Structure 1
């Protein structure tokens, strides 16, 4: 069962490993990011950072969509982590079963608009987020499981 869908450009890191895995009792983390899926060095580093007893899969968007029927059959608590709003939007357009997304962190790059403490969105990321909201996806901003969630309703 998918317990958390998270957008976080850092993918697998301390907040996920410590806070979210515990809060969701996750047994599997699926990272969906085209660039990472095609980079053996990044995949190796992520697999080294995974918590003991938790399985990690790293898929491109296309591969993840192909595997969703099998993922749905797993008797595990699962966290999906997306590295970008574009991958998240593409995935949800083809797999509309996701109704809630947690925005954990996005990179603070030139020209990005700060939406919350850890969320900075470029024009394209803002457009992707507006489209997700238009699709009826509830977006919350929450860094850790114990911090309070802010609902993102518009940009």
Structure 2
């Protein structure tokens, strides 16, 4: 599998992903990797309908993705991986999936989270996952839209006194 983009965006497939990020990455397939979303029939249907023309969308649990990643019969496509949170990204890395970078687009605020940018809120669990990914040498950049300048997530966390 040729992984073109790994993105955390709790909105998953929306206008920017469907048009700009997919075109920029030249992805043929969008893989939404989430145990929760994979169990939600309505959400899966809506995500498939939001795909740009010519791009297939699969919504799969984390462990299923790991199986597919290591199965050479399923590795003949260019993929964009979409996640709702950094913990699931850390889970695939712990299982041996090789990635070099993660783009963080949007992580919504909820109780217990701290806003670190206008689009990214984190809690202790998110920070632990990001620290692990950083430790593994994976570059973590915040960019909500393609035109935004890349912002190093770990520098933001340090500036906020969270790491």
TM over 0.5: yes
C-alpha distance in structure 1 between counterparts of 2:112 and 2:58, whole Å: 32
CA 1:101–1:126 in 2, change beyond 3 Å: closer, same or farther? same
Task: Indicate the residue corresponding to 1:27 in structure 2.
Answer: 28
Aligned to 2:89: 88
Give the ranges of 4+ consecutive aligned residues of structure 1 lying more than 3 Å apart after TM superposition. none
What's the counterpart of residue 77 of structure 1? 78
The whole-number CA distance in structure 1 between the counterparts of 2:129 and 2:113 is: 14
Aligned residues: 154
How far, CA to CA, are the matches of 2:29 and 2:83 in structure 1?
A: 14
Q: What secondary structure is seen at the aligned counterpart in 2 of 1:97? A: coil
Q: CA deviation at 1:73?
A: 2.6
2:7 equivalent in structure 1: 6
1:40 maps to 2:28? no
Residue ranges of structure 1 left out of the alignment (5+ in a row): none
Tell me what 1:143 maps to.
144
TM-superposed CA distance for 1:77, in Å, is 2.4
Contact 2:66–2:97, Cα closer than 8 Å, also in 1: no
> Do residues 17 (structure 1) and 15 (structure 2) align?
no
Per the TM alignment, residue 114 of structure 1 is displaced from its structure 2 partner at its CA by 1.7
For residues 95-131 of structure 1, what are the alpha-carbon distances to aligned partners after superposition, in whole Å with 9 as ceiling and x for unaligned? 3411210011101112212222211001211121112
Q: Gaps (5+ residues) in structure 2?
A: 158-163
SS of structure 1 residue aligned to 2:70: helix
Instruction: Determine the structure 2 residue equivalent to 1:54.
Output: 55
What is the aligned partner in structure 2 of residue 105 from structure 1? 106
97-106 or 64-73, which moves further after superposition? 64-73
Q: d(CA) in 1 for partners of 2:118 and 2:96?
A: 29
Structure 2 residue 123 is matched with structure 1 residue 119 = no
* CA-to-aligned-CA distance 1:27-53 (integer Å, 9 cap, x gap): 110110001111111111111111111
Alpha-carbon separation, structure 2, partners of 1:125 and 1:153: 12
